[in-house]
Structure 1
Amino acid sequence: MSLPHSIHVVTHPLVQHKLSKMRDKETSSTNFRRLLREIGLLLGYDATRDLPLVERDITTPIEAMKAPLLEGKKLVIVPILRAGLGLAEGIIDLVPLARVGHVGLYRDPKTLQAVEYYFKIPQDISDRDVIVCDPMLATAHSAIAAVDRLKESGAKRIKFICVLGSEQGARAFAEVHPDVPVFAAAIDAKLNDHGYIVPGLGDAGDRLFGTK
């Protein structure tokens, strides 16, 4: 499977192990929630490896030195409601001082198009690196709509983190937003007639919150 250059599949053994446990239909909501948080931290680690650093003067217990610290304003993490909340928790564990915005979208069951019902982000979004997170990149309609809104609001440096994508969704997203890197644990080959990723892991929101 040849994917666009902006799509990055994280093949770390821990990521792949946790994804396999999440795929298993016997995994409980409690364990699914824990695994989603853990995989969010690991994907976030990979996605933030290029954050800029600047040297600052500090003093250790031994002597003064110049030490590397993150440059500029803190990250903004933007989960797509509702399932994105579980993935965002892991990224917040990694960067606890990050600010958090929210985008509320649901998928129309007939058209599979994204419908927005909530949007709240920090005012200075243009000065910050933004990480959008949603466990699934299926049709990519929700991801595209969320990034569209963030760009309209001034966001300039955006990354997208998901647990699982479809090849169709990955290509659709990269075509519209080629400047937004995507970090995923895996890209599956296809979607079914209902827009679910196959073999996938089911509905991430229902499995996360135990609503089905």
Structure 2
Amino acid sequence: CPLGTYKSLVGDERCASCPLHSAAIYKGSIECPCEDGYYRAPADPKHFPCSQPPSAPQSLLVSFVDQSTVILTWQPPIHSGGRNDTTFRVVCDACSNAVSYVPSHTGFTETKVTISGLNPATTYGFQIHAENGVSSYSSSQFVDIAVTTAASVYHVSTTTSWVVQNVRIITVKSTSIILTWNPPGDPFTSTELYQVRYFKRGEEKNSSTILTKKPESSVSGLNHKTEYGFQ
């Protein structure tokens, strides 16, 4: 085979052009080595183009946090590296062995992870790594975030004075709303946190939660012309 072509097996087949991001710099090549910065996974056939690790995940957000659980969501990498086997891995800087991850802490494809078994009032650092079949040849790209779990709360009967009063709307816009309320009437106890839960009407199981220290909450990112319930 001349320069720039290869043939992996002896026979009458024609010499093939080198796959993308590879080159044959010698005559009679049986494969085309990858260009610098590009790789083939061990299981990739010789006719596969050379590829790269994916770029970092995007837009990492905390969609829920309470005393022991954090839910993180993100968007896929902009660049897949020329492959279709991107997976994600979670790294926590202070998590104990008792912490659990759903769906997993490594090798999963969903862009969401639920981390449970955390300690209350504790700050954790999380990294979300994007990886594929050639990530072992280079450092994986990641995005990170620091999350502080909520302090412990007490469950009290709704017959006590620990009930907020006069929940009302201050402002409504096409995709946001501002709520306020009167604090509980117990003069001997200060409220540490309020938890605001909101959901589309009829979809209570798919709710979102906001924690606030003030008796007021601004909720944004709502759908236009949609009815929501608030607790």
**Fold equivalence (TM over 0.5):** no
TM-score by length of 1: 0.23
Which entry has the higher C-alpha Rg, 1 or 2?
2
Higher fraction of helix: 1
Higher strand share: 2
Higher relative contact order (CA 8 A, sep 6+): 1
Provide TM-score, normalisation by structure 2: 0.21
